Amino acid sequence: MKTALLFPGQGAQFVGMGKKLYDEQPKAKELYQRADEILGFQLSKICFEGPEESLNKTNICQPAILVTSIVAFSVMSARGGSAFGGKETGELPEWSASAGLSLGEYTALVASEALSFEDAVRLVERRGTFMQDDCDKTKSTMASIVGLDRQKIQEVCSSIDGIVGIANLNSLDQIVISGEYNAVQQASEKLTQAGAKRVIPLKVAGAFHSPLMKSAETKLTRELANVNIKSPARGVVSNVTGDYVKTPEQIRSNLSRQVSSPVLWADSMQRLIQDSYDTFYEIGPGKVLAGLMRRINPNIKVINYEV
């Protein structure tokens, strides 16, 4: 049996997440307090008490999900000991690879000791701010397409006059498109006509993982240049390539490109499955990744750790 860890991305947040861990685990309290100090505001209070509209802001929910996921990972892997790199005890078995959905890739890199907790918290707050800035520049949106393959979706998107394309390959039959508002609307209509089972408009701030995020990518590239990144101690699969990242240079490049490139989640999961990973732990808020795995391969076991 081979075990890998999965970490959620934006959209998994909910008011109250992490509160139980904070109240019961000294390590959880320590990490939330460190995050509050790094950011200069009470992220923990927003996680635990809301309001929801504050938690849902891109520059808030990104560090909130990252910190909550790392807290859960820390409690699972090293109760009462070092947050990272300590002897694994308790509920988490030996694991040798990880992946995270978009934002969650930063959590995977922290868990794999390629990125420090402090740098990750700072980076994702900046990342969220840069992405929100780009959302504010152009009226844009995203939509989930169920029941059509990526080739057909790409074909339809290419026929639209405007910026629209694949943003998330969540599974073979659930794909998210992203782009200018009118272009996404037109593509949604054409995809319905082409036989999509469902076309679901998403409640998002804008066109994540599209060319409309290029300014955010440029700004994030500058931030990443000043961060100490190490080679991962365990395997990390990148959203951008659907394959392992092994060097600091690869990590920097992929984290930059990830902001405006499609998230190849299904490819990433297939890569791990091909490498004989058969047990996955979803660590952090929500159960989205377990649901996606059922679509990708229903025979794979995913264990969710509640926060």
User: Which of 220, 208, 40 minimizes the C-alpha distance to 130?
Assistant: 220
DSSP code for 8: -
For 237, list phi and psi in degrees, rounded to 5.
-95, 130
91-102: buried (b, 16+ CB within 10 Å) or exposed (e) per residue?
ebeebebbbbbb
Q: Is the dihedral of CA 105, 111, 112, 118 positive or negative?
A: positive
Euclidean distance between CA atoms 66 and 9, whole angstroms: 8
SS (H, E, C) 242-277: CCEECCHHHHHHHHHHHCCCCECHHHHHHHHHHCCE
Residues recognised as catalytic: 102, 209
